Structure 1
Amino acid sequence: MNTPPLVSVQTLSKSYGHKLVLKRISLDIAEGEVVALIGPSGSGKSTLLRCMNHLERQDSGCVLVAGEPVGFTLKNGELHEVSDKVLSYQRRSIGMVFQGFNLFQHMTVLENIMEGPTLVLKLPRAQVETDARRLLDLVGLSDWAGHYPSQLSGGQQQRIAIARALAMKPRVMLFDEPTSALDPELVGDVLEVMRTLAQEGMTMIVVTHEIAFARDVCDRVVFMADGEIVEQGPPGEVLSDPRHERTREFLRRIL
């Protein structure tokens, strides 16, 4: 019996004004799969990721996570957009890490991680703190619990952002170029945390230019250009022996 995908993108289209940035994209991601989205700037990668948790509203099509539409509810065979409150509930299963760290500057590291589970999940504070300290240990920053974001390097802040997203116990993690804003010497620590998550079975969709990470860690590479999926497959195929000239041209430029 085939297991249904954890994330299912179905004929998704999105425009900004007259510019069509996603052209009927369909993509299924299995539970535990790690997928890299690669492609030139403007290809639609980040827009696709943001549509997956309804930060961007698509023009047509839908995204299902664990069989449920994100940002919508199905009534009488039609999709109806949900309220912000319902959307917040739906997003509990979708963690997202951005290029910028988006940490609360007035809160300590520990408070940043505890905020979501305490306010949204309504979990007991003692349990939340125990989980938060475990996550700090996971990202290698257990000694920084009482510090503020301004006291941390960019790489440390991004690792805290990952811990904060994980604190909501998501089913899937979305990463939108998580290392692009970092100095080169700080990239490795962030990628190492992501590598650990992959080894632990977390479903991950990663927009990235880190080709070595895509090759070594991901189960599948999806190459996008001009709002479409040009090709996809195992990293060894797409990155080492791409079928399409558009993919070959992109890899020649960045490698």
Structure 2
Amino acid sequence: MSEVKPLVRARNVQKSYGDNDVLKGIDLDVMPGEVVVILGPSGSGKSTFLRCINHLEDMNAGSIMVGDQQIGYELKNGSLQRLSPRNIARQRKEIGMVFQQFNLYPHMTVLQNIIEAPIGVHKESRAEATRHATELLATVGLSDKADAWPRHLSGGQQQRVAIARALAIRPKLMLFDEPTSALDPELVGEVLATMRTLADQGLTMVVVTHEIGFAREAADRVVFMDGGVVVEQGPPGKVLANPEHPRFQAFLSRFI
């Protein structure tokens, strides 16, 4: 039997802005079907690391593999060389990402937002893209909103449409960058419920969030970052109940 390989394999990922070292050598594997939740204080480097996974940020050192793809670079003549923007865009076709802001096209209906990339980038037929979009709207609980305009939706509904839009490209990996941070508290639950549904379906997910409850209920593994490094990681039942590192203990004490 062949060994299951990590879907994401990050090694010694480093990123700095001038003299500010944001990532100081991140090593992390994510297995197929795993839900990894990254916790940490603001400025710890979590979102930067997430953006490096689909090369929205350049790394200064290290490597990230998604499947068998070296993200952002290729090995030529013994050294890593930057891929062309076209080839980077091709890699991103297999990685969905949901941001803090919804970034829906205001001049398009919900359905049009969702089918835009499958038709325009992936060259799906309109009929197939629409069929898949209809399924995704049912998954996120918005079947009745296909013809609605984004401005007529609540923030929670807009974020669920953004999740459906990211899923429309049939990604093998989904990245969530604090997807509930821009929402009013009463709307957070509906987005987290949608994400739990995706987790239950076996989608590989890396989630940056401050929602400890989501981490406890939906994560297979919790990773705590601080100061640009991974400080502690493990199953949520273990590390959230009995964190070993003082920095993680101090972080969690704010939520008790």
TM-score normalized by the length of structure 1: 0.98
Match runs of 1:35-184 below 5 Å: 35-184=36-185
TM-aligned CA deviation for residue 79 of structure 1: 1.3
TM-aligned CA deviation for residue 6 of structure 1: 0.2
Partner of 1:195: 196
Partner of 1:25: 26
Partner Cα distance (2:205, 2:224) in 1 = 16
SS at match of 1:51: helix
Partner Cα distance (2:25, 2:62) in 1 = 7
Partner Cα distance (1:2, 1:44) in 2 = 31
Deviations 1:215-248 (A, max 9, x none): 1110000000000000000001110001111100
Partner Cα distance (1:151, 1:78) in 2 = 51
Partner Cα distance (1:28, 1:99) in 2 = 24
TM-score normalized by the length of structure 2: 0.98
Partner Cα distance (1:74, 1:123) in 2 = 31
TM-aligned CA deviation for residue 75 of structure 1: 1.5
TM-aligned CA deviation for residue 2 of structure 1: 2.7
- Extract unaligned runs of 5+ from structure 2: none
Report sequence identity in percent: 58
TM-aligned CA deviation for residue 254 of structure 1: 2.5
Partner Cα distance (2:104, 2:23) in 1 = 29
Deviations 1:110-139 (A, max 9, x none): 000000000111011100000011111111
TM-aligned CA deviation for residue 77 of structure 1: 2.6
Partner Cα distance (1:239, 1:151) in 2 = 38
Runs ≥4 in structure 1, deviation > 4 angstroms?
Answer: none
Partner Cα distance (2:80, 2:68) in 1 = 14
Q: What is the letter of the counterpart of residue 187 of structure 1?
A: V
Q: What is the letter of the counterpart of residue 82 of structure 1?
A: L
TM-aligned CA deviation for residue 208 of structure 1: 0.6
RMSD, aligned α-carbons: 0.8
Partner Cα distance (1:168, 1:77) in 2 = 33
- Alignment size in residue pairs: 255
Partner Cα distance (2:184, 2:238) in 1 = 30
1:235 aligns with 2:236: yes
1:8 aligns with 2:45: no
Q: What is the letter of the counterpart of residue 143 of structure 1?
A: D
TM-aligned CA deviation for residue 4 of structure 1: 1.2
Deviations 1:27-55 (A, max 9, x none): 00000000000010000000000000000
TM-aligned CA deviation for residue 76 of structure 1: 2.4
Partner Cα distance (2:255, 2:88) in 1 = 38
Partner Cα distance (2:243, 2:3) in 1 = 28
Partner Cα distance (2:215, 2:66) in 1 = 23
Partner Cα distance (2:6, 2:221) in 1 = 14
Partner Cα distance (2:56, 2:37) in 1 = 20
Partner Cα distance (2:84, 2:31) in 1 = 28
Partner Cα distance (1:202, 1:120) in 2 = 22
